[in-house]
Structure 1
């Protein structure tokens, strides 16, 4: 392959990955902008059997974080980075995909109520951090899903994007659900 062909392939590869990153950034900004300009309803649309909106949000958020920890462990196992685990059996990859899918679905009612019922708060550093981390989570998730489809993404891309998804969700959870649990105990219904 001629050197100009190699350079052109590199530009296309970077362009696809750049587009995935820009798409993720667009998701983050769009969610934050909507949450900021939308007048919050200050009431839940649904609670899924929980005693209130906050209880639903913290428990679904905790479920999502637990499932993303499973994502981390299965990813480390699949990539041979889990100490002492040996090669990952065939069931690990589907477990990785399904735990991520279920975690994402669990976050949807949480995010919907954050955006629609509560809006983008700036009343304290904790609330601001929560809103920014939540927007980053969805942007990183979008970029990761787009990046998965690229054959030419850099080798570091998926681990970094996956780490950003996990880190931003954990930060979102720490700044809301853990805060709630430390003040209210563990209320279910």
Structure 2
């Protein structure tokens, strides 16, 4: 009995999967670039020592401490409103205006933080010689990088559900660290002054 010749078996490679995650990496990359750029600028820029202050405060440090405290309080509003919107507070049903409160408290926190960041970068620069100031400088750069990443991620509707809470949580953690290494330190060292 003869066996007919069979055609050679053609080997097929598994299909190549093309990743569609690149558009979602853009906010992270841009946020990372912002953080690095702020850190590099803060380190390379020669601090002027010139205090940019707002009327009503006894000095630049008091101004920074109170504005950072306002930003921190608004960040707490952000945290609580986000937890309410995501249904993470047992027994609390988020009112219809919670989303509006979340957006506007975030905008206000950012606006209040800008004079503080400007003064830190322009007058003081990034300093790495004192551990508290090193941590503060790194957290400041990180905060604005995470903030940019979160803002750029907001319009992307098909992100994994954990993305915005993670970025928001990182921004809150960074702002908490910033407040502890600046305002809290100032108030416990020099007293609560305006």
TM-score normalized with structure 2 length: 0.89
Q: Deviations over 1:9-63 (max 9, x none)?
A: xx22x11221110010001000000000101110212333211110010000000
Larger Rg: 1 or 2? 2
User: 2:107 maps to which residue?
Assistant: 101
Q: Map of 1:36-185 to 2, 5 A cutoff?
A: 36-86=43-93, 88-185=94-191
Q: Deviations over 1:51-99 (max 9, x none)?
A: 111001000000000001000000010111112112x111111000000
Deviant stretches of 4+, over 3 Å: none
Contact 2:53 2:63 in 1 (8 A): no
Matched residue SS, 1:97: helix
Distance 2:83 2:40 in 1: 35
* 1:122 Cα deviation after fit: 1.1
Q: Deviations over 1:123-159 (max 9, x none)?
A: 2111100000010000000000001111222211101
Contact 1:38 1:119 in 2 (8 A): yes
* 1:185 Cα deviation after fit: 1.1
* 1:118 Cα deviation after fit: 0.3
Distance 2:48 2:153 in 1: 35
User: 1:18 maps to which residue?
Assistant: 25
Distance 1:40 1:153 in 2: 40
- Number of aligned residue pairs: 180
In structure 2, the gaps of 5 or more residues are 1-14
Distance 2:52 2:187 in 1: 22
- Higher mean C-alpha deviation, range 76-85 or range 107-116: 76-85
